[in-house]
Amino acid sequence: MIVIVKLGGAAITNKKGVCEYSACLDPLLDQVRQAYCDLQAQGHQLILVHGAGSFGHPQAKKYQLKEGWRTSQPGADYLKGFSHIRACVQQLNTTIITQLEQRGVPVLNITPLDYLHARHGQDTPTERFEALVERTSQYLQLGFVPVLHGDAVLDDMRGCTILSGDVILYHLSKWLPVARCVFLTDVEGIYKADPKLKMVPQSFEILSHISVKDTVEVSTSFTVADVTGGIQGKIQWAKRMVSDCQVDVMICRWGTKEALDMMTLQNTFTDKMTRFSLF
Amino acid sequence: MIVIVKLGGAAITNKKGVCEYSACLDPLLDQVRQAYCDLQAQGHQLILVHGAGSFGHPQAKKYQLKEGWRTSQPGADYLKGFSHIRACVQQLNTTIITQLEQRGVPVLNITPLDYLHARHGQDTPTERFEALVERTSQYLQLGFVPVLHGDAVLDDMRGCTILSGDVILYHLSKWLPVARCVFLTDVEGIYKADPKLKMVPQSFEILSHISVKDTVEVSTSFTVADVTGGIQGKIQWAKRMVSDCQVDVMICRWGTKEALDMMTLQNTFTDKMTRFSLF
């Protein structure tokens, strides 16, 4: 069975800065290594997808890269912006790849820009992801751990756009025999209200279970740049993964027992995490 | 017109070390930026291809990656070796991409592993390079400076192999309207004998002109690991580029007037560089 672990931008970077790593990157990657070893011992496979956090969102916002250059020829500012965001994301990816490889996890990165050409951002049809999925599957068969990420890509209608790691997760789940997608983040799950809004009582309560039929409206404080839809976007893609791809989806805080249990296909669900299901 | 500049592994890294940058990387990249600005002002285009130097050769040798795993399933040592060399090359590439982007050169990297599947190493037929060449051409048309590099790739017959940046240069020259290929290295050109063999008188003389019909035998000291054929391999590919692709090929020391002149399509040939020609 295949487990996809999404390393959220909020967990691996400091989203309040620009191109700053999370102070907790080391123990987080230690836990990912542990999960890989456990899965491998059981004959299961692992795919990693990471977000861009402060190596992507502020840059995308500054240069309006999600909307794209919308002309056949990008101006000097777009050339600079696209080259800049690619260099930033590559820095983050290189760090993650290198640190996991040094921990003995046989990672190989797959750069979305190199494999897919988007059509109007998130509306990009599934068949456009075919080459990306095929390469992922090939690396898995050889015994590697494929590492993908949210990326700036070329786009038919916009010139360029930003594809969230969550969208990539969805298409991988649609095509591959994925059993579970685990989102590792810096909070325990989805709160009834944004925990940064400390005066709201529900901001301390976690929604431990969300059915795809539930309407979830979480008020958010939007204190950091997020060009991929923030928590509402995440909920929407998690629900689509559950209903369209028949995979388990859960959100956990990295470093917890819940995170390791979920990554290693245990079913020890608790109320310190959020689990999505069909009913 | 298109100019391809090869940033040699000996110029950008310390080939005597392992994963060590050249102490001269900054001024070298300053000169590349200067060449880009001059070319752009004249309406010409630039492609960069870099070697792997100490971020690739020692690793390839250690894990025998050029010969490949030769089976359908790589063993644990190959998984580790392939993942390791990819991480090392990506570190070097990320540094070059980032430093050029910070200098205002709109670079976009193209990872050979993502675009081509080799067949028996250097025997890989030209059509296998089609996707790589197409993407290079697309980036040029958009106004970017494509950056490629020697890489560890998958191979039909060997499982994996090492493709030298020189081989990639050859195939780019074969398909694209390239006017000139300039090899930037840490010596002034090809010496009659290896300049590291200081007791041999010819080791101080540069071959300023090599015709494709000339038989050039350069004695070398082989003091550093080079899995891509060393200076003899370089001469062979340079000759093939001149005769098969009708491009000018020259080897210069980075930082010299010769290097800038050659990169910017001047014809001020001197005896402090090596030029390859048909006759």
Q: What is the DSSP string of A103-123?
A: TT--EEE--HHHH--BSSGGG
* B192 in a known ligand binding site: yes
Beta bridge partners of B193: B219
* A192 in a known ligand binding site: yes
Q: Is the pLDDT of residue A159 over 50?
A: yes
CB nearest B90 (choices: A80, A94, A114): A94
Six token digits for residue A77: 């500012």
Tens digit of each residue's pLDDT (9 = 90 or more) over B30-76: 999 999 999 999 999 999 999 999 999 999 999 999 999 999 999 99
Looking at residue B222, its pLDDT comes to 47
- Cβ neighbours of residue A16 closer than 8 Å, sequence gap 6 or more: A54, A223, A224
Tell whether A80 is within 8 A of chain B (Cβ): yes
Six token digits for residue A38: 């456990």
Is A79–B135 a contact, with Cβ atoms under 8 angstroms apart?
A: no
Chain B residue numbers with beta carbons less than 8 Å from the beta carbon of A143 are: 73-74, 79
Tell whether A86 is within 8 A of chain B (Cβ): yes
Q: Is the pLDDT of residue A111 over 70?
A: yes
What is this model's ipTM?
0.94
Six token digits for residue B82: 């392939």
Q: Is the pLDDT of residue B211 over 80?
A: yes
Beta strands B107-109 and B145-149: pairing type?
parallel
CB nearest B107 (choices: A83, A111, A114): A83
Tens digit of each residue's pLDDT (9 = 90 or more) over A233-259: 888 889 999 999 999 999 999 999 999
Six token digits for residue A175: 């095509």
Q: Is the pLDDT of residue B202 over 90?
A: no
Closest CA to B168 of B99, B89, B61, B277: B89
Confidence of residue B215 (pLDDT cuts 50, 70, 90): confident
Q: Is the pLDDT of residue A221 over 70?
A: no
Q: Is the dihedral of CA B109, B114, B116, B120 positive or negative?
A: positive
Tens digit of each residue's pLDDT (9 = 90 or more) over A47-68: 999 999 999 999 999 999 999 9
Looking at residue A205, its pLDDT comes to 84
CA distance A48 to A122: 20
Chain B nearest CA to A218, separation (Å): 38
Is B74–A142 a contact, with Cβ atoms under 8 angstroms apart?
A: yes
Q: Name residue, tokens 């068969």.
A: A141
* B196 in a known ligand binding site: yes
Which of A207 and A258 is assigned the larger pLDDT? A258
- Cβ neighbours of residue A107 closer than 8 Å, sequence gap 6 or more: A48, A97, A100, A101, A144, A145, A146, A147, B83, B87
Edge-to-edge strands of the sheet including B248-253?
A: B107-109, B145-149, B45-50, B2-7, B178-185, B248-253, B274-277, B209-211
Q: How many CB pairs under 8 A join A and B?
A: 88
CA distance A181 to A48: 10
**Which class does domain A2-277 fall in?**
alpha beta
% of chain A with per-residue pLDDT over 70: 94
Tell whether A114 is within 8 A of chain B (Cβ): yes
Q: Is the pLDDT of residue A226 over 80?
A: no
Confidence of residue B235 (pLDDT cuts 50, 70, 90): confident
Q: Is the pLDDT of residue A220 over 60?
A: no
Beta bridge partners of B209: B275
Distance from chain centroid for Cα B126:
17
Confidence of residue B219 (pLDDT cuts 50, 70, 90): low
Which of A243 and A231 is assigned the larger pLDDT? A243
Looking at residue A222, its pLDDT comes to 47
Number of other CB atoms surrounding residue B272 within 10 Å: 15
Confidence of residue B194 (pLDDT cuts 50, 70, 90): confident
Chain B nearest CA to A135, separation (Å): 9
Q: Which residue of A36, A94, A153, A156 is the best one to mutate when testing the B interface, meaning the one whose CB has the most B CBs within 10 A?
A: A94
CB nearest B83 (choices: A74, A108, A135): A108
Chain A nearest CA to B33, separation (Å): 14
Burial label for B125, CB within 10 Å (0-12, 13-18, 19+), is exposed
